[in-house]
Amino acid sequence: MRLRLIDAQRRELLRAREAGAFSSSSLEAALASLDAQQIALESKAPAD
């Protein structure tokens, strides 16, 4: 569930980038934060 939320947030940030809604440094920081959250969640997921 959380990974889907992160994916949705990433898509919205990319749309905002295309619209020029935020500075590139702000978007890069937000995307980096989402990446870190995703990596943390995936590293805790049980292996198949």
The closest alpha carbon to 40, from 15, 3, 4, belongs to 3
pLDDT tens digit sequence for 3-42: 999 999 999 999 999 999 999 999 999 999 999 999 999 9
Q: Domain residues for 30?
A: 2-44
* Distance (Å, whole) CA 42 – CA 39: 5
Total number of domains in the chain = 1
In terms of pTM, does the model score above 0.75?
Answer: yes
